[in-house]
Amino acid sequence: MTEKRFISVFEAIGPVMVGPSSSHTAGAVRLGLMGRALLGSTPQNALIRLHGSFAKTGRGHGTDRAIIAGLLGLGTADQRIRLSHTLAGDCGLAFSFEEIDLGADVHPNSAQFILSAGERQVTFTGSSLGGGRIEIIDLQGYPVSFNGEYCTLIIISADQPGTINTITGWLAEAHINIAFLKVERQKIGEEAIMIIETDQPVTRELSVKIASLPWVRWSRIVPKLGD
């Protein structure tokens, strides 16, 4: 059964933020914050491909500055958002923007991110839905759907029996409740991605334990995104 979700007045109005637009600014900051979390650090190199309205009007709305601010770890209300391009140079973040057509089915306020820091790399696509809300729709080539409203455990692993039982068993032992769990795979017996959204934070100790599993190829814990 699908859980009904009601949008609060705070989501409709949007978060406390630097303007001018919750979609083009606050949502863009949160997409940057998500990219930083998925990579696991501040990127050293970032290629951001803007789609739809982001591409057409993003610069005028400060979308480019907002995304870089998020990648640097700044919140939606941080007055330094306007200075993010300069701050990026101070922090060793080299970035560039391009335009891309992701297709008519993708929300017009969307962007594809290609981020790296040393040997770590991540590629994802996210959309800004309004009111500061976001959705990640593609991660490392897998179709996904999560939004940073929960602590999110992401695992890419070999598709083999027992993987879900092992991970969910460890979460239960740590008294971490699962809110949502989704699995996508490319082909039977090859590779799969598991997205687990939890009510409690996943501990670093547990994340190290999960990453040490021989069949796990990539894992990341994304904390619940704040403002």
Burial class (CB in 10 A: 0-12, 13-18, 19+), 158: middle
Per-residue pLDDT, 17: 46
Question: Is it true that domain 151-222 has CATH number 3.30.70.260?
Answer: yes
Per-residue pLDDT, 177: 98
Q: Which among 121, 151, 150, 146 has a CA at the least distance from the CA of 135?
A: 146
* d(C-alpha 68, C-alpha 175), whole Å: 36
Per-residue pLDDT, 227: 53
Beta bridge partners of 156: 193, 218
Which residue type occupies 149?
E
* d(C-alpha 206, C-alpha 212), whole Å: 10
Per-residue pLDDT, 24: 62
Q: Where are the domains of the chain?
A: 15-139, 151-222
* d(C-alpha 114, C-alpha 138), whole Å: 12
Per-residue pLDDT, 145: 96
Structural tokens at position 58? 């993003």
What is the fold, at CATH topology level, of the domain defined by 15-139?
60s Ribosomal Protein L30; Chain: A; (3.30.1330)
Pairing of strands 110-117, 120-130: antiparallel
Low-confidence ranges of the chain (pLDDT < 50): 1-20
Dump pLDDT digits (tens) for 74-110: 998 898 999 999 999 999 999 999 999 999 999 999 9
- In this structure, are residues 91 and 41 in contact, taking their beta carbons and an 8 Å threshold? no
* d(C-alpha 89, C-alpha 160), whole Å: 44
- Count of C-beta atoms within a 10 Å radius of residue 56: 12
Grouping H, G, I as helix, E, B as strand and the rest as coil, residue 53 is: helix
